[in-house]
Structure 1
Amino acid sequence: MNFADFKKSLSKINELIYFDREHFLREKTSNSSKLKQYIQSAEGLLKSTNILEEKYFIMGTLGNLYRILGETQKAINILERCLKIASTELNFKREIVCKIRLGEALKYNNNHLKALEFFDGALELSLAHDSLYLDYVLQHKGKCLLELNKVIEAEKCFKEALKLREYKGNEELIKSTQLALDFIKNLKEK
């Protein structure tokens, strides 16, 4: 499989991933073996390419896939390498995305406080350089705060993310944030 085919195949990956309502809406997979196939393909491509753009994309994808599969240390290791590329290039958009992904991997590795440092770093960069991913930062920071039982702070993040997502008009993102707000509502009702 070449890079273009791999990228194209990722359009079907959402069929394997769901939000676990029993575990703070963490992303999980319904088909580990299929997810492992994606990982194997990505690992092979990573070894065979010298194109920095492709390496960055593959490493970010691998970080997410390893996290979802539950192999959090592998996710952290590869995302740290990915962040180094983004930081070296002084590419703020990529750095923001990497910090969000690394924060998620750390959260899944039960290192919530370190995860919050990365989310706050992504928030700082978003406010200073590029607000394109601000709603993502707020969403993921909110989910981390939620797992720390900081429900009021989490809800504030989700409400801000929802406003930004409604402005963007992306129904899938709006639905994701609404799911988080509904999760909080159910928590409060218990």
Structure 2
Amino acid sequence: MLDHLIAHDDNLRMVPTDRNELTTAIGRLHEELRALPEGSDPSRARILTRWIGIGEMCLGHHDEARAHLQQALDLAAAIGSTRAVVTTGINLADAHRYAGDVQTAGALYRSALSTARGRYPELLDFALQHTGKHLMERGDLADAQSHLLEALRLRIAKGNTELVGSTQAALDRVGLLISQADAAATDPAAPSRQWTAWLQSRTTTRTPDRWAEDFPALQDAVRLLTAQQRVHPRHLRDQSIRTELIGVMAKEAEQAIAVNGYLHNGKWNAVVGDAANRFAEHIDLATIVARSTGLDVEQPHNAVYIAYLEEGQFLDFHVDTIGFGEANLILCLKHEHPTGQSKVSTTVFITADGYLECALATGDCVVFDGALTPHGRTPLSAGESVTLISFGFRARDRTLRTVTNLPPAPA
């Protein structure tokens, strides 16, 4: 009904071939649905409602998609069409998956797969295909490959070349992800490099005006990445840290950067010295992190000075390697800018809900999980400079130090 207006993107998710045409087509289905006479056969209403839901899902209208597909599923159950319950249940599972509700999606896929195996073998390849893609996105690559291989055998037996091609494309995608995972296993820094490259190919801290436009294409992938966050980004103010301690570190940072500073990812870095070590001894930073995030951490095991000193200097979106720690705390040592300047450089994060900017003043902190939260800094304006210190913390619970099923970066 809408097949000709739907394609698949590089991540094998359904997308419109033309948003305007698909929107218009969905409008026509709504008109037909409203025009159905009272007491008419509910089968037509079920079909229309199902395709409206599929169309809304392709447009990224998650709430509308789930509402219509749930209605279609209820209609299928009411008229006793178990076969339609299976197909619509898979569509509804897709809608929940696209919206990031992987738990509900998984339950719906399992139910549809079980019913197809027991009662509708002609639908089994459909259920296996969509379950396989769900498992692929969850990072369960071996199970995904197993489901898709079974679907491929069934589709080859059916002789439908289009379906065979669709499953082969999914298997190729899984094979690529397995190769990336194997490479990451021998190179701990590989996942962070892959995610950083993917992020920087699609958005940048340099042009915040683009963010609203960029975000829809990032949302699903970022949601998968941040699902295992140990710490959500949090801007901390009024921590009652003595200003003289901050001032001493700011002077040490300035000297260290001038003498031994090195450029890294577009910012100045320097090794911390005695002032930072004394600060960490006097201030219970672990308690600050635990109190603000709920994660029980040890005292910081590493630290680095960071400085942005020139107009236009910025730090593009990236993720850190897992080894830096389960929690990061950045403390602003100095942020200078002309009085009355309306726009200042900010620390920025990409979350599952959008971009989060934190304008750090002297003494402000921000805590986050650097390995699982894309982050960076927007460009400095004229006359602006920023000096920071970044601390890394390890969780006391060692089981929290391991990230399982970390999704590979999209190809």
Structure 1 length normalisation: TM-score? 0.89
For residues 22-60 of structure 1, give each alpha carbon's deviation from its aligned partner in whole angstroms, at most 9, with x where no partner exists: xx2111113111110011001101111133121011011
Given that residues 100 and 140 in structure 1 are in contact (C-alpha distance below 8 angstroms), is that contact kept between their aligned partners in structure 2? yes
**Structure 1 gap segments, 5+ residues each:** 1-6
Misfit runs of 4+, over 6 Å: none
Structure 1 position 30 matched with structure 2 position 20 = no
Counterpart CA distance in 1 for 2:103 and 2:150 is: 21
- The residue that corresponds to 1:144 in the other structure is 134
- Aligned residue for 2:8, secondary structure, equals strand
Counterpart CA distance in 1 for 2:48 and 2:172 is: 33
- Counting only pairs closer than 5 Å after superposition, residues 1-190 of structure 1 correspond to structure 2 as 7=1, 10=2, 13-14=3-4, 16-21=5-10, 24-49=11-36, 50-190=40-180
Given that residues 92 and 129 in structure 1 are in contact (C-alpha distance below 8 angstroms), is that contact kept between their aligned partners in structure 2? no
Counterpart CA distance in 1 for 2:20 and 2:93 is: 25
Given that residues 39 and 65 in structure 1 are in contact (C-alpha distance below 8 angstroms), is that contact kept between their aligned partners in structure 2? yes
Per-residue deviation, 1:90 = 2.1
Counterpart CA distance in 2 for 1:82 and 1:25 is: 24
For residues 116-149 of structure 1, give each alpha carbon's deviation from its aligned partner in whole angstroms, at most 9, with x where no partner exists: 1111111121122211211010100111111111
Given that residues 29 and 52 in structure 2 are in contact (C-alpha distance below 8 angstroms), is that contact kept between their aligned partners in structure 1? yes
Q: CA RMSD in A?
A: 1.2
Given that residues 63 and 75 in structure 1 are in contact (C-alpha distance below 8 angstroms), is that contact kept between their aligned partners in structure 2? yes
**Equivalenced residues, count:** 177
Per-residue deviation, 1:85 = 1.1
- Aligned residue for 1:18, secondary structure, equals strand
Instruction: Tell which has more relative contact order, 1 or 2 (C-alpha 8 A, sep 6+).
Output: 2
Counterpart CA distance in 1 for 2:140 and 2:59 is: 26
- Aligned residue for 1:181, secondary structure, equals helix
> Which is richer in helix?
1
Aligned AA for 2:19? S
Identity of aligned residues (%): 28
Aligned AA for 1:106? H
Per-residue deviation, 1:172 = 0.6
Counterpart CA distance in 1 for 2:178 and 2:122 is: 31
Structure with the greater alpha carbon radius of gyration: 2
Given that residues 42 and 79 in structure 2 are in contact (C-alpha distance below 8 angstroms), is that contact kept between their aligned partners in structure 1? no
Counterpart CA distance in 1 for 2:118 and 2:171 is: 27
Structure 2 length normalisation: TM-score? 0.42
Counterpart CA distance in 1 for 2:16 and 2:155 is: 25
Per-residue deviation, 1:86 = 1.1
- Aligned residue for 1:28, secondary structure, equals strand
